[in-house]
Structure 1
């Protein structure tokens, strides 16, 4: 194999490694929130997924802050073995009308504390709330969270996300309400999600064929007898 061919092969291998490394790095875990039934004006189940991003410590405490400008009239926590849950009620600066009810105070934080063990290193767990009513004229709800590890380290997931900007290191868990997603956007997202596995598969096959072709191209050619 010539020196030129060696350089070309090395460059391709290096580029492939960079692509794979970048894909893996972009999948970093954060404290996040999702809901199977969140709709403006209704009740919803909120699921907070909490990963322990550590090799030798566990997550022992989670504090989730609820919106104060659009408070919930009802907040219920799913009973969870091995964890103690506490709700903090706070007086609102100004009364807020939620449906047919006017609130002068509301639950503003929910705290889960591990009774033993907690979430082991490199594992995750989920915590659920039942809340309502959800505000009707809000596109998204933010739930800043504070995660505490067994060694005393505290991580605040409270950074705001900016439209079109880079994701912050510790973004606040944010829930996008269903009504904020237009039918066109929803159809586009569904189409994209359903095609992604096929696209990735074709991309992987293309890469494999390309490498095979490179290998064949780099094989010494037999001289043609004249």
Structure 2
């Protein structure tokens, strides 16, 4: 094989490896996610769902989120999102809630008012709710469904197998809850470095009939921390790709140089 063809082969391999790694990392960073810096077990907090549009041709027009059925919340209120309407569905909780309420919020759905307010390709939006008291558990899993303007539906509902560190293709958003370490002067539960935010005592938003039962949800996403980590990984792979691309170009140029003797 000539030096030129050897250089070309190296270039193809390096560029192929870079493209696969960089594009794969970019897709992993675009999951629906949930975050709350002040989420403490037993406290109140505002939860924010971050929704990026992965499609290159369609916009996100709906988001449906299922609150964990085995961790019912006594208080749930919704922060209005400009350009979006929301509906709240209640259901009988699997376990007692608060003072023994017979219903608890089970599903919240947001819908864009028009094409102008939909989440366009290359954009993201955030949807916030205030909830509490949070369960005394290390985490909460919120299954979600993302609907696009072309009718495509992405179900973020997959959970990692027990004991596995591999992330599913469509992971459900997971919120980590800090263990309570005491109370502040106002009597709110606190944890190291954060204070639980007081929540509303009454649900906000219109209450709708169960147009979609919780079992219909099929979308899942990752925690905000995991999303940020994947984004950093994507940037790192991008830089590596630039380096490999330069090496590939150098290989091609070197391979095309004529052999000289004497």
TM-score by length of 2: 0.65
Q: Is the 8 A contact 1:46 1:131 kept in 2?
A: yes
Larger radius of gyration: 1
Q: Is the 8 A contact 1:94 1:104 kept in 2?
A: no
User: Are residues 1:142 and 2:130 paired?
Assistant: no
CA distance in 1, matches of 2:170, 2:238: 32
Classify 1:212/1:11 alpha carbon distance in 2 versus 1 (closer, same or farther; 3 Å): closer
CA distance in 2, matches of 1:94, 1:126: 30
Q: Structure 2 matches for 1:1-226, cutoff 5 A?
A: 3-22=1-20, 23-28=22-27, 29-96=30-97, 101-117=99-115, 118-136=118-136, 138-162=137-161, 163-164=163-164, 166-179=166-179, 207=244, 219=257, 223-224=261-262
CA distance in 2, matches of 1:214, 1:64: 51
CA distance in 2, matches of 1:202, 1:26: 12
Deviation at 1:207, TM superposition (A): 4.8
CA-based RMSD: 3.4
CA distance in 2, matches of 1:133, 1:59: 31
Classify 1:19/1:39 alpha carbon distance in 2 versus 1 (closer, same or farther; 3 Å): farther
CA distance in 1, matches of 2:242, 2:19: 18
Classify 1:206/1:37 alpha carbon distance in 2 versus 1 (closer, same or farther; 3 Å): same
CA distance in 2, matches of 1:89, 1:143: 16
Q: C-alpha deviations, 1:62-113, integer Å up to 9, x for none?
A: 11000121111221211111111111121224324x5xx4444211111111
Three-state SS of the structure 2 residue aligned to 1:169 is coil
CA distance in 2, matches of 1:6, 1:167: 41
CA distance in 1, matches of 2:173, 2:234: 26
Three-state SS of the structure 2 residue aligned to 1:26 is helix
Q: Is the 8 A contact 2:46 2:130 kept in 1?
A: yes
Unaligned runs of 5+ in 2: 180-191, 193-225
CA distance in 2, matches of 1:158, 1:49: 15
Q: Is the 8 A contact 1:143 1:174 kept in 2?
A: yes
Classify 1:199/1:109 alpha carbon distance in 2 versus 1 (closer, same or farther; 3 Å): closer
CA distance in 2, matches of 1:72, 1:102: 12
Three-state SS of the structure 2 residue aligned to 1:167 is coil
CA distance in 2, matches of 1:202, 1:122: 21
The corresponding residue for 1:186 is none
Q: Is the 8 A contact 2:138 2:177 kept in 1?
A: yes
CA distance in 2, matches of 1:43, 1:173: 19
Three-state SS of the structure 1 residue aligned to 2:88 is strand
